[in-house]
Amino acid sequence: MWAFKLFTILELPAADPYWQLPAAGYPALPARSNQTAGGMQFIVDPAIPQHVFLASKQFPIAKLMYHGQEKYGKFAYSSHFGFNLSRDTQYIQQFAIDNALAFSIAGQDQFTSRRVIDASQMYADYAVSVWHTTTAQVVTYLVPLTATLHVRIHEVTTAFTLDAYEGGFPLTPWNPKHQTPATTAHSTSAVNREAVSTITDLLANRQPTHVDQGPNTNLISPEKNVVPALYTQLTPGRHILACAVLGDPRPGMALADADAQLSVTTTGYAVHNGAQTVTIPRYQ
């Protein structure tokens, strides 16, 4: 719908000055761009054939917005990986877990993720969103590090025992009969000829896993895909979850480039990536 608005230019008459203007080259994007009004953070590298933005503000409120949770509520969107749509909210394999944190009452397998954002704030190096589901209150910090790597920190408060899954970028094509992601003690990585997708637990309190998603669930490809993921069961109370998420369309890149560390202090967090450190005071 939005793309077709471009064709309103064709309503201009042939004599309009617009048609006399010389063609201009595509403007170079800044390496880092924060879109405050939209709550989006962009990091661009001309050497990498994708655009990724992290989302912390927009959410669907129209009742007729089909799949609005997937279109607006995910933490990250990529021009290379696309995003998934849920076939059902029953069972995690049917739920679009890519770039989302989803909760279910333990054992019920009925999942939901970020949809309504109660508050958001953007800073120079990170952004915050405050959101809720029927079972949890969450404060999420999104920290872009490079054009392919970002960190997520979640403060989760719940009165229930919850099954919690968090996914990285969806990788397609993927056939679970013949392909298996590589799993370590703290991370899951999926690699094929198209790209590499990795999610790494930064606090050692979740189990690396993966979620196979069916055909015709990804916006870009009709093939099956896989989502590297982290799982834990949360008890009633307050929890801190954190992960580093890598999505790179260069499948031969070194997985060590996904390296990031997190320090938790009494007042907030510090994210480290090489010589880069991002200090994050706890949101009040």
**pLDDT above 80: residue 258:** no
Question: In whole numbers, what is the pLDDT of the chain averaged over residues?
Answer: 94
**pLDDT above 70: residue 255:** no
Query: CB of 245 within 8 A of CB of 76?
Result: yes
Task: Pick the range with the lowest mean pLDDT from 148-152, 256-260, 274-278.
Answer: 256-260
* Architecture of domain 30-281 in this structure: Distorted Sandwich (2.70)
How do residues 103-127 score in pLDDT, each as one tens digit? 999 999 999 999 999 999 999 999 9
pLDDT band at 27 (very low <50, low <70, confident <90, very high): confident
**pLDDT above 80: residue 237:** yes
SS3 content of the chain, % helix, strand, coil (to 5): 10, 45, 50
Rounded CA separation 229/236 (Å): 22
Rounded CA separation 50/171 (Å): 14
The neighbour count for residue 75, using CB atoms within 10 Å, is: 23
Rounded CA separation 174/190 (Å): 9
| Tokens matching residue 218 | 């990804």
The predicted pLDDT at position 211 comes to 98
Rounded CA separation 243/250 (Å): 21
How do residues 181-234 score in pLDDT, each as one tens digit? 999 999 999 999 999 999 999 999 999 999 999 999 999 999 999 999 999 999
The predicted pLDDT at position 183 comes to 95
**pLDDT above 60: residue 254:** no
Task: Pick the range with the lowest mean pLDDT from 6-10, 40-44, 58-62, 80-84.
Answer: 58-62
The neighbour count for residue 169, using CB atoms within 10 Å, is: 31
**pLDDT above 90: residue 248:** yes
Q: Three-state SS for 6?
A: helix
Determine if residue 207 is left, alpha or beta; phi over 0 gives left, psi from -120 to 50 gives alpha, anything else beta: beta
The predicted pLDDT at position 2 comes to 82
Q: How far is CA 33 from CA 2, 122, 230, in A?
A: 21, 11, 29
The predicted pLDDT at position 277 comes to 95
